[in-house]
Chain A
Amino acid sequence: MAGGIATSRSVRKPAPADIGRPTSEPAAVRWLLIGIAVLFLTLIVLLPLITVFVEGLKRGWEVYLSALIDPDAVSALKLTLLVAAIAVPLNTVFGIAASWLIAKFSFRGKSLLLSLIDLPFSVSPVIAGFMFLLLFGAQGYLGPWLDERGLQVVFAPPGIVLATMFVTFPFVARELIPLMQAQGIQEEEAAATLGAKGFRIFWSVTLPNIKWGLLYGLVLCNARAMGEFGAVSVVSGHIRGETNTLPLHVEILYNEYQFSASFAAASLLMLLALLTLGAKSLVEWKTAQRNQDLEG
């Protein structure tokens, strides 16, 4: 097996002798394919990224900054942070519990459970918001009951939190399950045999193994929670200064033709996305380092 790994490495090494090798393409084809990939990603991904900052700064820093300190923008940002601060920790607790359950035990119905965890990925965000409207809205199943008690869920922050939780539900679990499955259960079993109790096993054996994957799951879940648009749009009611999140604020400004202000707000969300990508690179780098340490 070790021999196999060694050959595959030597083949991948970008030596000049690689040109003309029968298991690679001629240089012209290689550069053509690289060119196509670069052009495609530039047109589809890089250009929108640049557009957001250029359009946001089109009328100068003053307009840009005043768009960011506008009271509506500030309250939208606050609500966005609040929603993420509730939804992300809850989804993290769920994600850890679900991945422990799936990776450490075998039981009947496991694949069904896995499919159910993935379910929110394939539900349209609009439908996700709509479900909570049907449940908690004025004409919804629990609407009258809530109304009698003076509680409001939809068109208020709790509805936004619920819709966000649904949409970002699988992210932490999806990141942790393959990781914990790959690591097996030997280390935890050893700890248990030595007399460690449940939480201690998790804290000092499992967590150090999964911390980077968990971090990325958290960051991604957070980015999606702060950026959710469709589901939140249905349950928010668009009350300015009260139930507007940052993505909804971008939409409202855009529809009012305040393009510079809209792109200024959008640039905040773009920064968040770029930070998320940075965190991913960091996690991949740390994981590769760890694997090297284990090998060496």
Chain B
Amino acid sequence: MKGSRSRSVLPGFGLTMGITVLYLGIIVLIPLGCIFLKTSDLSWGEFWTTVTAPRVMASYRISLLTSLAAALVNLLFGLIVAWVLVRYRFPGRKLLDSLVDLPFALPTAVAGVALTAIYAPNGWIGQWLEPLGLKVAFTPLGITIALIFIGLPFIVRTVQPVLEDLDKEIEEAAVMLGAGRWRTVLRVVLPELTPALLTGFALAFARGIGEYGSVVFISGNMPMKTEIAPLLIMTKLESFELEQATAIAVVLLVMSFAMLLVINYIQWRASRRALAE
């Protein structure tokens, strides 16, 4: 991989490199740089007061906790869905498989209004939960459900190909060595899936932290209670507090990039392990 460019008979290195770098610079790097540049308008003290204000801290806490909860739920159910899709044959399997991609293809705002219609106190499911004293819409639970919807494909689609490529022979070997089915799955299959599960989890978690469209409708947007960090940035923009919005955004970006590093590290370790074998 590394090392200077090897000689190739194929044309187009200069052209494609030019297009890629130019486009990347204009659309991604320069605009992203602006956010960080804008923070220099703030002194360190001002920056710190902004991002540690109670309302801002509360929004980070809500974003992180609901994303974490949603990613954990998806970790379990996403694994079950991937397992069922790969290992079993049953009527409607193809349809189920297509459904997994819907959150990826559906505009987030549509998901947001639909989920609110379902879980609002007078909604399809909400009206049955209300008498039980369980409120979903306009609570952190509602935010979590929206994030489960958004994060589902990330787990299923990272685990599925690994599970498909998994050699059944190692399971057979485990059985011949006397392991029961449950033990085989737990000790032989699950460790093989761990890097994919972790990657999917991290992807879903990172996506959840930044998610906006599907959450704003169902969250109710109450400061300190159900106000997520991206929404707080939006609020600050609407009241023309650009510097404050920038500070909140930079912290959110740093969190996302940290997640990205973690994902890269997991994949790097997994590929190194695969090479060693």
Are A134 and B107 also in contact (CB < 8 A) when A38-B96, A46-B99, A47-B124 are? no
* A147 interfacial by beta-carbon distance below 8 Å: no
Interface residues on chain B, size class: 35 or more
Does A7 lie within 8 Å of B15, measured CB to CB? no
Instruction: Determine if B113 and A263 form an interchain contact, defined as CB atoms under 8 angstroms apart.
Output: yes
Flag whether B65 is at the interface (Cβ < 8 A).
no
Question: Are B84 and A52 neighbours in the complex by a CB distance under 8 Å?
Answer: no
Instruction: Spell out B's residues near A (CB within 8 Å).
Output: 1-6, 8-13, 15-17, 19-20, 23-24, 27-32, 34-35, 37-38, 77, 80-81, 83-85, 87-90, 92, 94, 96, 98-111, 113-115, 117-118, 124-125, 145, 148-149, 152, 167-169, 171-172, 175, 181, 184, 206-207, 209-213, 217, 229-231, 233-234, 237, 242, 245-246, 249, 252-253, 256-257, 259-260, 264
Those 6 A-B pairs whose CB atoms lie nearest each other, nearest first: A227-B107, A124-B210, A230-B212, A229-B213, A131-B31, A48-B114
> Contacts of A246 on B, CB cut-off 8 Å?
107
Is the pair A105, B148 in contact by a Cβ cutoff of 8 Å?
A: no
Q: A124 to B35, Cβ gap below 8 A?
A: no
Q: Is A266 an interface residue (CB 8 A)?
A: yes
- Could you tell me if A269 and B168 are in contact, using CB atoms closer than 8 angstroms? no
B237/A234 in contact, CB under 8 A = yes
**B3 contacts which chain A residues (CB < 8 A)?**
106, 108
Q: A108-B3, A123-B32, A162-B27 are contacts. A227–B106 as well, Cβ < 8 Å?
A: yes
Cβ B19 vs Cβ A127 within 8 A: no
* Contact present for A115 and B90 (CB under 8 Å): no
Q: Which of A127, A166, A220, A228 makes the CB contact (< 8 A) with B35?
A: A127
Q: Whole-angstrom distance between the alpha carbons of A198 and B14 in the complex?
A: 12
Q: How far in angstroms is the closest Cβ of chain B from A202?
A: 8
Most chain-A CB neighbours within 10 Å: which of B3, B16, B37, B207?
B16
Known contacts A8-B167, A122-B257, A192-B9; decide if A254 and B233 are in contact (CB<8 Å): no
* A-side contacts of B234, CB under 8 Å: 126, 233-234
> Contacts A23-B168, A25-B181, A162-B27 given: A127-B8 contact, CB under 8 Å?
no
Contact digits for A195-214, partner B, Cβ 8 Å, 1 yes 0 no: 00110011000000000000
A226 in contact with B107 (CB, 8 Å): yes
A135 to B9, CA, bound (A): 41
**CB of B30 to closest CB in A, whole Å:** 7
Of the stretches A67-75, A274-282, A287-295, the one at the interface is A274-282
B116: min CB distance to chain A, Å: 8
What would 19 A/B residue contacts be, using CB atoms closer than 8 Å? A36-B77, A40-B81, A41-B81, A48-B111, A101-B20, A106-B6, A118-B260, A119-B28, A122-B259, A124-B233, A124-B256, A162-B27, A227-B110, A250-B107, A254-B217, A259-B117, A273-B102, A277-B102, A281-B98
Q: Inside 8 A of B89's CB, which chain A residues have their CB?
A: 14
For B27, list chain A residues within 8 Å (CB): 162, 165-166, 169
A98-B16, A126-B233 given as contacts; is B175 within 8 A of A22 (CB)?
A: yes
Q: Contacts of A36 on B, CB cut-off 8 Å? A: 77, 80
How many A-B contacts if CB must be within 8 Å? 304
A45 in contact with B149 given A37-B84, A94-B19, A127-B249 (CB within 8 Å): yes
Give chain A nearest CB distance to B265 CB in angstroms. 12
Contact of B107 among A41, A166, A228 (CB under 8 A): A228
CB atoms of A266 and B110 under 8 A apart: yes
Answer whether residue A132 sits at the interface, using C-beta atoms and an 8 A cutoff.
yes
CA distance A116 to B10 in the complex (A): 24
Q: Is the CB of B212 within 8 A of A229?
A: yes
Interchain CB contact under 8 A, A51 and B105: no
When the two chains form their complex, are residues B101 and A127 in contact, meaning their CB atoms are under 8 A apart?
A: no
Tell me the chain A residues, 130-160 only, with Cβ under 8 Å from chain B: 130-135, 139-141
Contacts of A140 in B (CB 8 A): 34
Mask of A31-61 contacts with B, CB within 8 angstroms, 1/0: 0011011101100111111011001000000
Whole-angstrom CA separation of A189 from B149 in the bound complex: 45
* B80 near A108: Cβ-Cβ < 8 Å: no
Are A52 and B149 closer than 8 Å at their CB atoms? no
Residues of B within 8 A of A98 (CB): 16, 19-20
Nearest A-chain residue to B259, judged by Cβ: A122
Tell whether A16 is near chain B: CB-to-CB under 8 Å: no
In the assembled complex, which residues on chain A have CB atoms less than 8 Å from the CB atom of B113?
A: 52, 250-251, 254, 262-263, 266
